[in-house]
Chain A
Amino acid sequence: MPRIPPSVFRQALRTDPLLVPLLPVTRSLSGAQAELRWLRKEVPKPKLPWAIVQRSNYRPLQYILGDQPFLDLSIKCAEGTLIPRWETEEWIARIKPFISNVKIIDACTGTGCVALSFNGTGSNIVGIDIDTSCLSLAKFNQQSNRCDDIVHWAQCDILNWTDDLHHVCKGVNFLVSNPPYIPWEEYTKLDRSVKNFEPQLALVGDLEFYNALVHNLLEPNLNTCDGFVFEVGNVNQIHHVRDLVKKHGWNVGYLMDSAGYHRCVVGWKPDGRFDFKKLCDFVY
């Protein structure tokens, strides 16, 4: 990483001394200014020094302020759950118009942002997570954002096939998931603010999650399930899901995000209720 030139530090000191501790974290003056502006706006004045010290120790801003805007929702974030990312926001905004009046299952919910953003489509939504603290946070978010649709939460481990999981997933029409998809080698190279503060449980994982999603959630419900969208981190994962699903005759494509990375693998039944062909950036 290139070091920040001292002239930038001097400039920061001249404009506002409080910018200086934020500079090594944001690595740019404009970023530091924006973060300080948000901190000043949302943190009460006596707590501001504490917040700046926290931020200079690389704690994510969302944990300090307590929430993150996600589409038109405001999602509460706390330590132990993953902060919702803009990539997720983007693909949900693209997929949402295709969906109405179905049963949706959101595996690995975390804060519940994916499940809650499908509110307003008249759907029956179930959010699944392994962690109970995440689920209580998701429930809180559901109440604070006033959801009209039916939203349920269930504590299941998707990696192991159990009767509970079978019962919860019965009759699902549409599967969404943002599973942990960063392989261990990549995890060690992540940003300090992500590595030190965000839960490893929600980040580290690879093909085993896609195996589980297909074998435990999709294949038992092949009659009712018409489509799925899984967030991915790289092309290998897309190819893996494609190979798993192709034998059932499903169509598979993927979405790119606006930073130029492969972001989602999308699958749909040839004669089902969804047709994602227009949506996908590439169809196999």
Chain B
Amino acid sequence: MLPIRSISKLIRCFSNTAGVSIKRNKLPPRPKVSEDEIEEVFIKGGKWWAESKYRWKLCQLEELKFKTNSNFFKINKTNSKVQLTHIPTGLVVSSQATRSREQNRKHAREQLAYKLQELLDPENSRAKALRELRIQKKHSKVKKTKKKYKLLDEEKQKQKELEKNEEQEEMIFKFE
């Protein structure tokens, strides 16, 4: 029979408490969304317009409409907000991160991809890995500060002892 101590050591070996460390350069790849599943809406554009496969048909419809009633003007506005809808799941993401609309479109797509991945495959998602990486960094930071202050405290105590010793020596010296 093995002694209890050795068993506990073995268990510690196989347990996960030591943490599977995540490395910055070995994260899961960035998720992507296919353009066919996205519906894009520009909020201040007045009338919304779907970027979908029915675009051609919609154009022909418009053509018919304008033959009967052609008083239709648009108003130029400077707005960069973008809203995306993922059609199969109904997820909605909007972005107003920058002043450039093109960049906002990219940003919104990225955001949507992250959300989707977390919804469909939460175990191996990049968002989860990033979150864990952040927690890991926080822990290591706390560890470092603890170590630092421990060292500092030890030094202080040593100094105090030294001072005490010196004082005692001085006292002894005086008495002599």
Contacts and interface: CB of A to CB of B under 8 A. Distances in A.
Contacts of A147: none
B86 interface: no
Nearest to A27: B44
A20 interface: no
A194 B76 contact: yes
Label chain A's interface by main secondary structure. mixed
A87 B76 contact: yes
Contacts of A190: 75-76
Contacts of A262: 62, 74
B99 interface: yes
Contacts of B80: 86
Nearest to A194: B76
Contacts of A235: 66, 70, 72
A68 B101 contact: no
B98 interface: yes
Nearest to A235: B66
Interface in B64-91: 66, 70, 72-81
Nearest to B46: A259
B103 interface: yes
Interface stretch (A30-38, A47-55, A243-251): A30-38
A93 B59 contact: no
A62 B77 CA distance: 12
A98 interface: no
A189 B75 CA distance: 9
Interface in A79-95: 83, 85-87, 89, 93
Contact of A233 (B66, B70, B74, B79): B74
B51 interface: yes
A236 B69 CA distance: 11
Given A260-B48, A281-B56, A282-B59, A234 B96 contact: no
Interface of B: 40, 42, 45-49, 51, 55-56, 59-60, 62-63, 66, 70, 72-81, 94, 96, 98-103
11 contacts: A31-B81, A34-B96, A68-B78, A68-B99, A86-B101, A183-B73, A234-B70, A234-B74, A256-B59, A259-B48, A259-B49
